[in-house]
Chain A
Amino acid sequence: MIDLTVTHPIGDRIREVLPPLPAALANGALAVASLALLVTVMAILLVWLERKVCARFQARLGPTRVGPFGLLQPIADALKLLMKENLRPTATDMVAYYLAPLLPITGSFLVLTVIPFDHNLQVANPGAGVVFVIAASGLGILGTLIGGWGSNNKYALLGSMRSGAQLFSYELSMVLCMLLVVMAAGSASLREIVLSQQGTVLDWWIFKLPGAGFAAFLLFLISSTAELNRGPLDLSEAEQELTGGFHTEYAGMSFSMFFLAEFVNMFAAAALGSTFFLGGFLAPQIGVHAVDAVLSFVPGVIWFGLKSGFLIFLYMWFRWTFPRLRIDHLLALEWKFLLPVSMGNLLLGATLVTFGLLLP
Chain B
Amino acid sequence: MRDVLFYLLCAVMLGFAVIAVTSRNLFRAVLAFAGVILGTVILFFALGAEMTALAQILVYIGGVMIFVLYAVFLTSGEEVGMPKPSVAKIIFALIVAAIPLSLIAGLALRAGCTFPVAGEALQSPIASLESIGLRLLNPGADGFLVPFELISVLLLAAMVGAIAIATREKEAETADGILTEKQEDAS
Using known A-B contacts A1-B48, A138-B58, determine if residue A145 contacts B69 with beta carbons closer than 8 Å: yes
B145 beta carbon closer than 8 Å to chain A: no
Using known A-B contacts A146-B69, A161-B185, determine if residue A138 contacts B130 with beta carbons closer than 8 Å: no
Stretch from A127-135, A245-253, A300-308, A342-350 that touches the partner? A127-135
Using known A-B contacts A21-B1, A165-B185, determine if residue A135 contacts B62 with beta carbons closer than 8 Å: yes
Rounded to whole Å, the gap between the CB of A245 and the closest CB of chain B is 14
Closest to A99 in B: B31
Using known A-B contacts A131-B58, A138-B57, A328-B180, determine if residue A145 contacts B129 with beta carbons closer than 8 Å: no
B70 beta carbon closer than 8 Å to chain A: yes
Report B23-41 residues with CB < 8 Å from chain A CB.
25, 27-28, 31, 34
Using known A-B contacts A128-B50, A131-B58, A132-B54, determine if residue A146 contacts B184 with beta carbons closer than 8 Å: no
Q: Which residues of B contact A128 (CB under 8 A)?
A: 50-51, 54, 128-129
Assembled-state Cα–Cα distance A168/B70 (Å): 12
A328 interface neighbour in B50, B57, B122, B181, Cβ under 8 Å: B181
Assembled-state Cα–Cα distance A328/B50 (Å): 38
Assembled-state Cα–Cα distance A168/B50 (Å): 23
Q: Are A138 and B181 in contact (CB under 8 A)?
A: no
Q: How large is the interface on B (under 10, 10 to 19, 20 to 34, 35 or more residues)?
A: 20 to 34
Candidate in A131, A136, A171 with the most chain B CB atoms within 10 angstroms: A131
B42 beta carbon closer than 8 Å to chain A: no
Assembled-state Cα–Cα distance A95/B30 (Å): 12
Q: Which residues of A contact B50 (CB under 8 A)?
A: 2, 126-128
> Interface code A175-198, partner B: CB below 8 Å = 1, 0 otherwise?
000000000000010000000000
Report B62-98 residues with CB < 8 Å from chain A CB.
62-63, 65-66, 69-70, 72-73
Q: Are B62 and A138 in contact (CB under 8 A)?
A: yes
B10 beta carbon closer than 8 Å to chain A: no
B61 beta carbon closer than 8 Å to chain A: yes
Q: Are A149 and B61 in contact (CB under 8 A)?
A: no
Q: Which residues of B contact A21 (CB under 8 A)?
A: 1
Rounded to whole Å, the gap between the CB of B187 and the closest CB of chain A is 8
Assembled-state Cα–Cα distance A161/B182 (Å): 12
Assembled-state Cα–Cα distance A251/B176 (Å): 37
Assembled-state Cα–Cα distance A327/B184 (Å): 9
A142 interface neighbour in B48, B61, B122, B129, Cβ under 8 Å: B61
Assembled-state Cα–Cα distance A332/B69 (Å): 23
B61 interface neighbour in A2, A96, A138, Cβ under 8 Å: A138
Report A54-76 residues with CB < 8 Å from chain B CB.
none
Q: Are A131 and B34 in contact (CB under 8 A)?
A: no
Q: Which residues of B contact A201 (CB under 8 A)?
A: none
Assembled-state Cα–Cα distance A126/B127 (Å): 13
Rounded to whole Å, the gap between the CB of A35 and the closest CB of chain B is 19
Q: Which residues of B contact A164 (CB under 8 A)?
A: 66, 69-70
Q: Are A142 and B65 in contact (CB under 8 A)?
A: yes
Q: Which residues of A contact B45 (CB under 8 A)?
A: 2
A135 interface neighbour in B61, B70, B72, B129, Cβ under 8 Å: B61
Q: Are A93 and B129 in contact (CB under 8 A)?
A: no
Q: Which residues of A contact B185 (CB under 8 A)?
A: 161, 165, 327
Q: Are A149 and B128 in contact (CB under 8 A)?
A: no
A157 beta carbon closer than 8 Å to chain B: yes
B122 interface neighbour in A2, A93, A131, A132, Cβ under 8 Å: A2
Rounded to whole Å, the gap between the CB of A353 and the closest CB of chain B is 15
Q: Are A135 and B48 in contact (CB under 8 A)?
A: no
A141 beta carbon closer than 8 Å to chain B: yes
Assembled-state Cα–Cα distance A142/B61 (Å): 7
Assembled-state Cα–Cα distance A71/B68 (Å): 44
Using known A-B contacts A2-B48, A127-B130, A161-B185, determine if residue A96 contacts B27 with beta carbons closer than 8 Å: yes
A206 beta carbon closer than 8 Å to chain B: no
Rounded to whole Å, the gap between the CB of A33 and the closest CB of chain B is 22
Assembled-state Cα–Cα distance A145/B54 (Å): 21
Rounded to whole Å, the gap between the CB of B26 and the closest CB of chain A is 11
Assembled-state Cα–Cα distance A96/B51 (Å): 29
Rounded to whole Å, the gap between the CB of A14 and the closest CB of chain B is 19
What 3 A-B pairs are tightest by C-beta distance, nearest first? A138-B62, A135-B57, A128-B129
Query: Can you give 20 contacting A-B residue pairs, CB < 8 Å?
Result: A2-B122, A93-B27, A95-B31, A99-B31, A127-B128, A127-B129, A128-B128, A135-B62, A139-B61, A142-B62, A146-B31, A146-B69, A161-B73, A164-B66, A164-B69, A165-B185, A188-B129, A328-B176, A328-B180, A328-B181
- Residues on B lying within 8 angstroms of A by beta carbon are 1, 25, 27-28, 31, 34, 45, 48, 50-51, 54-55, 57-58, 61-63, 65-66, 69-70, 72-73, 122, 128-130, 176, 180-181, 184-185
